[in-house]
Amino acid sequence: ISVLFLIIFPVRNRLREIVGASTNWKDHQQALAERASLSQNLAKSQDELPAKTMKDSAIEAHLPLGTQPALREKYLNYHNSVRFGRILEDLDSLAVLICYSHTWNEELQRSPLSIVTALVDQIDMRQNIIFPDCDIKFTGHVTWVGKTSIEATMHMSQVLFSNVLDATFVMVARDPENKRAAFVNPLKLEGPEEEAIFHQGEVNKTRRVELSTASLLKVAPTAEERTLVHSLFLNTLDTRTVSFRSRVLPPNSMWMEDAKMKGLEICHPQERNIFNRIFGGFLMRKAYELGWANACAFAGGRPTLVAVDDIVFRKPVEIGSLLLLSSQVCYTEGIHIQVRVHTEVLDPLTRQHNTTNVFHFTFRVEKDIPAIVPQSYGESMLYLDGKRHFDETMRSQG
């Protein structure tokens, strides 16, 4: 198999070369103007583009934590493990490069496509710890292709373990100015194994459509979910009064209102991507770290990540934005904690808030934790949404 081998640090530099992005913030407007002229190289239909194989996009990248101690400092956390937020940044960059490898036209010096992250379908942890003194290997390739979207699946391993995590990202292709959708090369399947992989991509797409259609922001809860919400309500009624408003917190529980944590980021040019918006990996790292801190404070102990589920990138975040992050423990079951992180951009001039991302993280702790209890109807919907994501994570992990 022909595989592109890389060290992980040059990945973002390679992406800049592919699209012709500026390395200096002061030159970014000129670079964007130059990219606009690449629109003439876009395909008018997918039929114009040659089919590519999964091997064409196969990439192997190495993160030499064991052999380069100076690099290790950037990835080390105070528990002497690897900062998972940094791994999220690397996965995001790698997913973009995999998709550019699939769409690369050797006759062009620069790609006319703007490939950006649409969503993180799933990241499943296969090991509880990532060792900071062992080199990390990333492998991945395109596993499914639509007309303008691409699914990239990646695996991460270390010397001591064959597999540390599996990740599935969905990327979308846009025109050079990132204003409209653009066609991508179709995928040529070679053999039954690749056909099965592609079929799983179709299954993933169908599942995402079904989950979106059944969203609690669109339709009412199921009969079973309504019964669960009413049971939670009855468990909090004060038996000494005959009142719907008098509520009592059950033993070993915590009101959802008291399980929040918030943060603010000023979005500087240092964190920009190759299209001079805020790097999606940076947003994931900040959301993960806030969610982890919230789970840690809630549980009173160190949580371990189980899975990242259904991260949706709704709007790009511009340089100079005020990014507000809000983390909420929304569901608990046994030793598991489901955390939702909502991010939005605040325009200080108009005071308008616009949602940019929603993140879902599943954590596990090795101790008893309080049950989370909603009070309002809105909190009950958050609780049910968290339960849905937790149940989906448990199903995907077998």
Distances (CA, A) of 244 to 238, 372, 374, 379: 9, 20, 14, 17
pLDDT at residue 254, rounded to an integer: 96
What residue has token string 């940019």?
356
Q: What tens-digit pLDDT sequence spans the chain (398 residues)?
A: 344 555 665 677 778 778 776 666 666 667 667 778 888 999 999 999 999 999 999 999 999 898 888 889 989 988 888 999 999 999 999 999 999 999 999 998 889 999 999 999 999 999 888 999 999 999 999 999 999 999 999 999 997 667 999 999 999 999 988 889 999 999 999 999 999 999 999 999 998 888 888 899 999 999 999 999 999 999 998 877 777 777 899 999 999 999 999 999 999 988 888 787 888 889 999 999 999 999 999 999 999 999 998 888 888 898 888 999 999 999 999 999 999 999 999 988 888 899 999 999 999 999 889 999 999 999 999 999 999 999 999 988 76
Question: Would the pTM of this model clear 0.95, i.e. be above it?
Answer: no
Q: Is 76 exposed, middle or buried (0-12, 13-18, 19+ CB in 10 A)?
A: middle
pLDDT at residue 300, rounded to an integer: 94
pLDDT at residue 2, rounded to an integer: 42
pLDDT at residue 341, rounded to an integer: 97
Q: Would you state the structure tokens that stand for residue 164, as one six-digit string?
A: 């540390």
DSSP line for 230-249: HHHHHHTB-TTS--SS-B-P
DSSP line for 317-375: -BTT-EEEEEEEEEEEETTEEEEEEEEEEE-TTT--EEEEEEEEEEEE-SS--PEEE--
Distances (CA, A) of 148 to 42, 50, 103, 209: 12, 14, 11, 16
Q: Kind of pairing, strands 322-333 and 59-63?
A: unpaired
Contact yes or no for 258/374 (Cβ under 8 A): no
pLDDT at residue 3, rounded to an integer: 47
Cα separation of the two ends of the chain:
30
Distances (CA, A) of 306 to 59, 299, 384, 390: 25, 15, 19, 10
Using CA atoms, how far apart are residues 139 and 59, in angstroms rounded to an integer? 6
Distances (CA, A) of 180 to 39, 104, 148, 175: 11, 19, 10, 6
Contact yes or no for 40/177 (Cβ under 8 A): no
pLDDT at residue 36, rounded to an integer: 80
User: Which of 287, 310, 309, 317 lies closest to 362 in space, CA to CA?
Assistant: 309
User: Which of 134, 88, 97 lies closest to 10 in space, CA to CA?
Assistant: 97
Q: Would you state the structure tokens that stand for residue 379, as one six-digit string?
A: 């909190």
pLDDT at residue 304, rounded to an integer: 94
pLDDT at residue 5, rounded to an integer: 52
pLDDT at residue 98, rounded to an integer: 96
Contact yes or no for 311/337 (Cβ under 8 A): no
